[in-house]
Amino acid sequence: MQNLENLLKIDRDSIWHPYTALASELPVYHVDSADGVRLKLSDGRELIDGMSSWWSVIHGYNQPEINKALEQQLKSMAHVMFGGLTHTPAIELTEQLLAITPEALDAVFYSDSGSVSVEVAMKMAIQYWQAKGAPQRQKFISLRHAYHGDTFGAMSVCDPETGMHSLFADAMPKQVFIEQPQCRFGEACTEEDMAPLKQALIGQSGHVAALIMEPIVQGAGGMWFYSADYLKQARELCSEHNVLLILDEVATGFGRTGKLFACEHADVVPDIMCVGKALTGGYLSLAATLSSKEIHQTIDNGDPGVFMHGPTFMANPLACTAALTSIRILLASNWQENIRRIQQGLEQGLQPCKELTQVSDVRVLGGIGVVELNEPVDMKTTIPQFVEAGVWVRPFGKLVYLMPPYIIEDNDLKLLTDAIVKIISAL
């Protein structure tokens, strides 16, 4: 094996990291192993992970039950094509997903990532309307400050200013954007709050395929928590105007907000739902798009009689095994109490940030804690400070946030929040 210096040189010279220039001065830390809530660096340091590896590793690293299930699955097969073939992990995972998601959702399409699950959802909506004899329904209504992924279709429904439209505007479909709801989580919504959506549905009547939303929590577009009442009224408006509702639960699914799925806060049922990230407990990339009977029967009965998508690694047996095991671990655990405990720890630990003049807002929901600053964070100087404090926190824009694994203990959570308070205080 090459020495660490050579490995890091290859990394610096040849590997693109997410949203990072190839020749970036941002530090990159070499992880040697991970266990529980700790990342073990090659230089011997250990970091408490406050990110759950971008919100996916909900049970912590090196989880024994998932390890064992994957070892067993490897003995039979790591992969088999899903065209014309099937296997038990996919069937059992489907049965489990349908049991825990809203009852009206009764079919599952597997893909490789959250972005692709959104692409699939958008294609489903368009193909549905084509099968219904309304091919003009091609547009999507989306909220400003939304984030739905990095592929082209998903990117087209991300925020037009903070997203990537400025670079790819001429190549992407033009969608309909409305203001994000200003009614915060726990508040009721007014007619004024709902007016932009009503106007868009009326103004684009006959041309909209679906409204796409991140339920309750707008994730990477700004970590904003909005009213469940808004989501409830949005569902009613979609039904009234005969528009499909797509809920992107990629970031919010599997307990993160205190409900198994964020749509449960409003007791709404989408026509199409996307899940990913925590689906496999952070072990392997897998996502799913769930649809109602009305959606898949209409597509099946239309031309060409099949849904037009099919990834090579669709329903990969290893990924399905990880997902099935992860869900079983979650449901068997006292996850609701863990989320309540984490929420309480985040609220108490981040409270001092509310007194800082450089902070514009502090908000907590379930296992998500957010400190919004007045100015963007200097990643080049701030990330090393977090590492020096023994924690892994990766801010973006003006946001410093935490989404720790559900298994985190109170003392480790306090170390995370203490580090945030200390480092933000010194900015």
Residues with a known catalytic role: 19, 147, 248, 277
Cα distance between residue 399 and residue 359, in whole Å: 10
For residue 311, which amino acid is it?
P
Q: Which of 142, 150, 406 is nearest to 282 (CA)?
A: 406
Q: Which of 409, 403, 91 is nearest to 254 (CA)?
A: 403
Q: Is the peptide bond before 102 cis (omega within 30 degrees of 0)?
A: no
3-state secondary structure 158-205: CCCCCCCHHHHCCCCCCCEEECCCCCECCCCCCHHHHHHHHHHHHHCC
423, burial (CB in 10 Å: exposed 0-12, middle 13-18, buried 19+): buried
